[in-house]
Structure 1
Amino acid sequence: MIDALEQAEAAVAACFDTPAWAASEHDLVAALDATHRVEQRLAAVKLTLIRELDGRGTATARGASSTAVWLRDRLRLGVGAARRLVELAAALDAAPAGVRDALAGGAVDVEQVRVIAGTVETVQASAGPEAADKAVGVLVDWATQFDATLLRKLGTRILDHVAPEVADAAAEAALRAQESRAARDRHVTISEQPDGRLRLAGILDTEAAAVLRAAIDPLTAPTGPDDTRTPGQRRHDALADVCRLALRTGELPENGGDVAQVVVTTSYDGLARQLGTGALDIGAHLTPEAVRRLACDAAVLPAVLGGSGQPLDVGRQRRLVTGPLRRALVLRDRGCAFPGCDRPPRWCDGHHIRHWADGGPTSLDNAVLLCGHHHRHLHHSDWVVRMAGDGHPEFIPPAWLDPDQLPRRNLYHRRN
């Protein structure tokens, strides 16, 4: 074996010294195919040696704690790569002879061997050894056409090909087991950060995942060429928009006697002059700009506080852009009015062109529909919105974007 490997090493070295530029394209492709076959055959030999050394306990006899640790030192590998070699060697040793022959012949690679071995084991448990033998042939044939990832997906339906009489029952059992695991593992963790932000982590079951994707995917596309948000930021904003929509329905369970709401406390001077911050009822604080943006389309509850912060007088709650006014706004704007945006009305807030805190009236000619992204964008950029002479909103871009600052309108919602 050592003599043959030394000859192979010399042959490979000679190939490396041969100038590839001198070969034709046909010969280069043929050489690549041959190199891959040789590589897989050498991998089979390597795994066979590792399995034998592991079985003999060579690593522990030489003072190592495990074969993986010994391989890490001997072959100068990362410990993860060394463990993977030991696992692959065991998988190859347990695989049917046809799989080992396919690897030794260069027809499959080691990752495909892992997939085939696992799939055949499942088939044997479900349909017996005869179906498992058939599965080996089918999977090895597929492995000549598909990579390990796709081979794994195809393998989930292997019983349709080798044991159709039990395929449906096995698929149903596997699906039930999958649903059981999903129900067991489902969770969402919300960790509050010191600055009031939240870290979300978790696993959704299949049904909840589909609902979430259906809800946020339409909202995650860039809204235009000036949308510089990262994909992660767009998903964040989409999730926030979905939550705002749920709050707007008024159908969430009550919390402490009130319908679900976000409570922000600020002073009138701070709101009007954009100087003071706002405090959420959970303790976190918001910038003055964020408070004014939230006040655009919110239920405003005036309150007079004493010097120590105790409530002295609380007025009646009054909505700003709701009811008949919002219906009129929807009929006019038909969705987010920002140029180029396709968000429908249900995703939009009513924005005061002249801020309510600055004395702006709650009226049709002082309101415009804006989606969450463009509502934030308008409050934090140099864009300006105004009402044109025909009673429709138009937007003035900042000078850096358009030196002429020509007014723009959203033509997406226009109906012929």
Structure 2
Amino acid sequence: MVPPRYPVVAAAQASGEVSWDRIDLVTKALVDWEKLLPVDGNNVTVETLAEAEELLAGQARVFGGRQLGQVIDRIAGWLVPDGMLDDRAAQDAVRELEVRPIRRGMHKGMYRVEGRLTGDAGAKALAMLDPLAKPQPVVDESGRVVERDHRDRGQRMHDALEEALDRSLRAGELPAHGGTPATLILIAGEDEFVAGTGAGVTETGDVLPMEGGARSVG
């Protein structure tokens, strides 16, 4: 049997004293800090990680949610006291981005995006998305606002990302995927395609509506 990656946390979980959500929070923090082991200029060592695991396992027995998150933040401040503002090596070590389909629940059919961008990547993302995310009210011929943009900031940023993706796909400058140009392929019946109604199925098995943006991409 393979020994647990974090034995102290595993023991806390096995005892039934720590809930799954707390275990997940603690484990994610430890995995994050472990990535900094090869990076110089911080307090992350095998020994300090073991101390952090011991401390977190104990705190997770008492605290959860925001309070446990605050404990994790304090430990992170001890491990990396100067932060990562100018530490590109540390930022590179913990950079990540995941786009995962939601398979269950009320949001089934959507995607969850989680991650951390380096300072450079984040600045580029905002430079691209901010102009596209500006409110777009409806105006009449004289320029008078007839109806304001009812989308909130989060919705506008989502729509800005989708527009940026559409532009990138239409530009045809992405690397080929499997020998063909990068594109979004929907499989649908002829009637649905012509009428622009119903739904199409992507290569990954996700269902997208034929109406609107789904048909315009590709």
TM-score band (shorter)?
0.5 to 0.7
Shift of 1:298: 5.7
Residues 118-171 of structure 1, C-alpha deviations (whole Å, 9 max, x = no match)? 9xxx9xxxxxxxxxxxxxxxxxxxxxxxxxxxxxxxxx9xxxxxxxxxxxxxxx
Residues 301-330 of structure 1, C-alpha deviations (whole Å, 9 max, x = no match)? xxxxxxxxxxxxxxxxxxxxxxxxxxxxxx
Measured in 2, the distance between the counterparts of 1:273 and 1:217 equals 34
- Return the TM-score normalized by structure 1: 0.29
1:207 aligns with 2:120: yes
Structure 2 equivalent of residue 254 of structure 1 = 176
Change (3 A) 1:265 1:209: same
Shift of 1:271: 2.6
Which sits farther off after the overlay, 250-259 or 264-273?
264-273
- What SS is found at the alignment partner of 1:222? coil
- What SS is found at the alignment partner of 1:289? coil
- Runs of at least 5 residues in structure 1 that lack an aligned partner in the other structure: 1-64, 70-78, 88-117, 123-155, 157-173, 300-416
Among all aligned residue pairs of Structure 1 and Structure 2, give the percentage whose two residues are the same amino acid. Answer: 29
User: Larger relative contact order (C-alpha < 8 A, sep ≥ 6)?
Assistant: 2
Specify which of 104, 121, 129 is matched with residue 216 of structure 1: 129
* Aligned 1:5-404 pairs, distance under 5 A: 80=67, 178-194=87-103, 195-224=108-137, 225-290=147-212, 293-295=213-215, 297=216
Q: Give the total of aligned pairs.
A: 136
Q: CA RMSD of the aligned region, Å?
A: 3.6
Q: 1:279–1:285: 8 Å Cα contact kept in structure 2?
A: yes
Computing the radius of gyration over CA atoms, which structure comes out larger, 1 or 2?
1
Measured in 1, the distance between the counterparts of 2:195 and 2:136 equals 31
Shift of 1:260: 0.3
Change (3 A) 1:247 1:298: closer
- Runs of at least 5 residues in structure 2 that lack an aligned partner in the other structure: 1-57, 138-146
Measured in 1, the distance between the counterparts of 2:111 and 2:187 equals 20
Shift of 1:250: 1.1
- What SS is found at the alignment partner of 1:241? helix
Shift of 1:223: 0.2
- Return the TM-score normalized by structure 2: 0.52
Shift of 1:186: 0.8
Residues 352-391 of structure 1, C-alpha deviations (whole Å, 9 max, x = no match)? xxxxxxxxxxxxxxxxxxxxxxxxxxxxxxxxxxxxxxxx
Measured in 2, the distance between the counterparts of 1:202 and 1:193 equals 16
